[in-house]
Structure 1
Amino acid sequence: MKLKLRDKYVLVTGASKGIGKAIALGMAREGAHVAVNYNSDKAGADEVVEEIAAMGRQSFAVRADIADVGQIKEMFGVIADKFGRLDVLINNAGITGWTDLFEVTEEKWDTVINTNLRGTFFCSLEAAKMMKEAAGGSIINISTICAELGVKNLVAYASSKGGIHAMTKQMAVELAPFNIRINTFGPGATNVDRNLQDDPSYKTTWGAMVPLGRTAEPEDMVGPTVFLASDDSAYMTGQLFFVDGGWTVRGKIPESNMDAALDKHR
């Protein structure tokens, strides 16, 4: 079987757990060597590295808080030293920042925006510098359906991801002459530990909102990412789509669960 990403060098941010972990492992299964970024969960990142190494791929964990541009630059320096080049960047790391609209503080707003939007931009910029020298590459941003639907208690989160949508289009135009593609997709309700801990009935409650009748597993995000990372999408840049079981088509939100999740984060 032909591997779609054989010997590609990939960085996945926020890859110690959840969707990022699934994507990192999925890249490796398709033949890629993977740098596993984490901020606080070193043990989780090390486990992902071990699983990738067991597949016969190169992998290492690299710590960086992507809200800090200095740490981003240091991380890309490590990648340049260890890999020599970067073919694919997957901007997955992000925070939710649950807050009632009238309780949003400047500190909360800045924390979410700095991680999700500023961090994604500066990771993309550093990746593009490396890709420009290598005559091309693919940047993939992981967004959210919250930036499309409008939901309670997540104004900073949705705003940060909406900014990524606009940034994707802008950077696609500016990077196209260097054969660097950038695309974004937004997962719908996904069974990651954070969501399941916030709401024990998450799968049932949120699955009822989805036309396909279920919430997503993190592995459901692997196929779209492989597509965007590979030559299968060679003529695709500046695009946004959702991997949500049709949720953005229906547009229903369980508001009581949004309030319950907020209470847990106060």
Structure 2
Amino acid sequence: MSMEGRTCVITGSARGIGRGIAEHLGSEGANVVVNYRSSEGAAHDAVEAIEDSGGNAITAQADVTNRDEVERMREVCHEAFGPADVLVNNAGLTADTQFVDMTREEWDRVIDVNLGGMFNCTQEFYDDIWNAEEGRLINISSVVGKQGNFGQANYAAAKSGMFGFTRTIALELAQGGSTANCVAPGYTKTDMIESVPEKVLERIVAGVPLERLAEIEDIACVVRFLASEESSYITGEVIDVNGGMDL
């Protein structure tokens, strides 16, 4: 599943799952665009890690909710590597509170980043993906989009919305021979997990049949497969990577 020479744009890839995806694809030979909104130092660290593994990478600052900045990110990609072959919509945001206490601002912000950002980036890179020999659109959702989660009505709605978007765009991209798929990770070892109280974490792990949290590499490997030529007959799918939480 060589990624040699394929240009991949990963939004929100300065840290967490996005960074793991960026580093993994870069280590497999891809040209990687590491997108960040405000974590410039972390983004440059990711680029350095990719280059240390023998890959090629650049940073591209863009708030995915700002269409002008997303357009500039596309220009930066084209200037460095040419048109994108793969777009991974990973950038996301949470603003957790019980629905009865949720403000419209908290609702709108989460929807705007998770769904609006996906819209902006997909539309801006759509022609690249359509015209690529093996174009790939990959959206990073969450198990929360399938199961819901207490205090995350906004996030669950946004992540669930990715499923319908992916399946519709898959139908449209198929006319050009490109694919669109969605990855729905379960609870994953990232910086965010470190702030979860130990007792809560124990309950989470107890609800996972494989009895562990996902490693970032578990997610990145699935993305690599979907980004490769070997996945050419898979489109419109939601791939669960959650340790069996739906069983």
Residue in 1 that maps onto 2:189: 191
2:109 pairs, out of 108, 111, 124, with 111
Structure 1: any 5+ residue segments left out of the alignment?
Answer: 250-266
Residue in 2 that maps onto 1:254: none
Residue in 1 that maps onto 2:152: 154
Residue in 1 that maps onto 2:91: 93
TM-score, structure 1 as length reference: 0.89
CA deviation string 1:47-97 (max 9, x = no partner)? 010011122222111111112222111111211111111111111110122
What is the CA–CA distance in structure 2 between the aligned matches of 1:217 and 1:55, rounded to whole Å?
20
Structure 2: any 5+ residue segments left out of the alignment?
Answer: none
| Kept after mapping to 1: 8 A contact 2:28/2:55 | no
Residue in 2 that maps onto 1:21: 19
Q: Within 5 Å, which residues of 2 pair with 1:43-58?
A: 43-58=41-56
1:5 pairs, out of 3, 8, 12, with 3
1:124 pairs, out of 117, 122, 125, with 122
Q: Within 5 Å, which residues of 2 pair with 1:55-74?
A: 55-74=53-72
Aligned positions, number:
247
2:208 pairs, out of 198, 207, 210, with 210
Classify 1:201/1:220 alpha carbon distance in 2 versus 1 (closer, same or farther; 3 Å): farther
| Kept after mapping to 2: 8 A contact 1:136/1:178 | no
**Which aligned segments of 4 or more residues in structure 1 are displaced greater than 6 angstroms?**
none
Aligned to 1:213, what secondary structure does the other structure show? coil
Aligned alpha-carbon RMSD (Å): 1.4
| Kept after mapping to 2: 8 A contact 1:135/1:178 | no
What is the CA–CA distance in structure 1 between the aligned matches of 2:218 and 2:198, rounded to whole Å?
21
Displacement of 1:30: 1.4
What is the CA–CA distance in structure 2 between the aligned matches of 1:202 and 1:47, rounded to whole Å?
31
Displacement of 1:216: 0.9
What is the CA–CA distance in structure 1 between the aligned matches of 2:17 and 2:199, rounded to whole Å?
20
Displacement of 1:131: 2.4
CA deviation string 1:183-230 (max 9, x = no partner)? 001000111111221334565332111000111111111111011001
TM-score, structure 2 as length reference: 0.96
What is the CA–CA distance in structure 1 between the aligned matches of 2:245 and 2:12, rounded to whole Å?
25
Aligned to 1:61, what secondary structure does the other structure show? strand
| Kept after mapping to 2: 8 A contact 1:191/1:203 | no
Higher alpha-carbon deviation: 162-171 or 199-208: 199-208
